[in-house]
Structures are given as structure tokens and as C-alpha cells.
Amino acid sequence: MATIYAPDYIIEESVIEFNPKTGLPREIDIKIINKNNTNDKFLVECRDHKRKQDVIWIDSLDGKARSLGFKKVIAVSSSGFYKTAEIEAKSRKIETMRLREAEELDWKKWLFSISEFGVNIDEGIRVKKINLVSPNTIQPSSMEGVSLKEIFLVNLKKKSKISLFDYVNGLINDPKYINFARTNNMDNAITHYDITIPCDAGLGYALKDGKFTPLIKVTFSLDSSRKSYKISMKHIKLGEKKLLVGEEKILGNKTRVILEEKEGFLGVMLETKIQKAKNVSRT
């Protein structure tokens, strides 16, 4: 439903709605709300039964929608509907959909007849070690107990300086290094990189005391990691839509992957449930 209605609508599942007259709670399978008009909302109810659905279910859905203020109802059945139920649904302006997994012979004829979908997530670059290298004839300043914010890289020619902390942040967020890591990272492993940046004359560093120490190079030891996932996909027809659906825990969170086959390309959506942090009392 998110694939069909996004991005103009908010899609929620397993929602509790309260009847405005009785105050009684009613569970909604799927609720779809227009972002720009909260009165424009759809009720989606789903049934996975062996038998086709009848007029009684259509009648109850219509009553449920009216009591909760829904403008449109979509009834989804894995086994389909009796003809009389479809006629009744049409008269009440209820949309009916049959949701089923496509047979093997069917999905192999799909444009994207894949049974597995790969997702790679490259985590950010982490700096493990920094080495400021001065000429052999110069005694470097002691760095013991000094933070990166207290070390400044100085360019005497340009009369400029930047804290080592800010310089490192710029480096690990530089698209050049990010793309380099993405290209070279190994699946499900931590990959180590060593970067050497040569320094021209007039470049060095200074601490709070202002003493300037020239540099010949700066070396960085970096780590980057990649999580690789293989997700089994089910081929599903939702009305005239051809969807591939799979679920997997990605970075510890339950994630649903939905692929929609369109003419000439494949639309991809990842939906992740993130648990909200609980309130922590302090003493």
C-alpha cells in the first residue's frame, strides 16, 4: 500500500481507532491518511482465509468505516471474493483486491524474476590513529592528554589554521574518501585503510602554547565496515500491481523490502520499524 500511495499519504498498520460515539476501540489493519487533508483517509482490511469472502464481510466493513469516519474502504482477500460480494462491494464503493503469491511459472515470466535481493550498508569511516610526522631534526611537542580540538593545523603562507578535530571531520565526510571506502569495503568485515597526506613547506601544527612545529606528512589509520544482507523475495500480485516482498533484520531492525515492477525499471522501498527510546529517570 505504501508503494501505491506514497509519497502523498501516510501509511500505518495495526492502528487502534476509537468510535467517536461509543468510545470503543477498533483495530484497523492498514490506515492511509492524506498528508494535506486528514479527513481524506482510507480503511484497508485484510483476510487470509481458505474460502472466498462473502457479502457479510463487505457489509461489516461498510459499517466499520462509517462509524470511524473513513471515506474509502479497500478489502483485501488472499482467496478472492464470491461474485455476490463483489457486486455488493461495488454498490457500496468498496474496492476489492485479491492478494496472492504468484505461481512459480508466473513469476519466472516477470521482467524482474528474482528470488533474492541484496542490500549492502556501508557504515561511516572511523579514525583509529593519527600520526603527525615532523622532520627528524625537530623535536615534536608532547601530545599526551591533548584533544584533537586543542591541536591546530597551521598554514604559514596562507596565514590560516584549522583544528585537527574539524580537519578530521572534513576528511571522513569527504565524498572522495566515502566513495573509496564503498568501492573497497569487504562484505561483513572491517576494512582498514592507511592514508598519507604530504605537507608542503610552511605547513605544521601548533598547540595552545602557540609553538609552531613543521610537518612533512600526516598519516591516518581508518576503519570502515560493510553489512551485507541477502533477502528472500516473494512474488505477489496486488490487483494489477506486481510486487516483490521480503523481510530481514537490517542493523538489528526488522525491515520490509518492497520492489515494484514498473515498465523498464524496478522501484525499491525499504520500511524499517525503529523502537522509540524509553524515558530514563535520573537520580
pLDDT confidence band for 208 (50 / 70 / 90): confident
pLDDT over 90 at 63, yes or no: yes
> What is the mean pLDDT of the segment spanning 137-148?
82
Q: pLDDT value at position 175?
A: 93
Q: pLDDT value at position 281?
A: 43
What is this structure's pTM?
0.58
> What is the mean pLDDT of the segment spanning 78-91?
93
Which ranges in the chain are annotated with CATH 3.40.1350.10? 1-101
Q: pLDDT value at position 112?
A: 75
- Which comes out higher in pLDDT, residue 57 or 270? 57
Q: pLDDT value at position 282?
A: 39
> What is the mean pLDDT of the segment spanning 112-131?
89
pLDDT over 50 at 224, yes or no: yes
Which residues are CB-contacts of 282 (< 8 A; sequence separation ≥ 6)? none
Residue 193 φ/ψ region, left for φ over 0, alpha for ψ in the -120 to 50 degree band, beta for the rest: beta
Average pLDDT, the chain: 87
- What CATH number belongs to 1-101? 3.40.1350.10
> What is the mean pLDDT of the segment spanning 21-43?
91
For 241-275, how does the pLDDT look when each residue is reduced to its tens digit (9 = 90+)?
788 889 998 888 888 898 887 777 778 888 887 66
pLDDT over 90 at 198, yes or no: yes
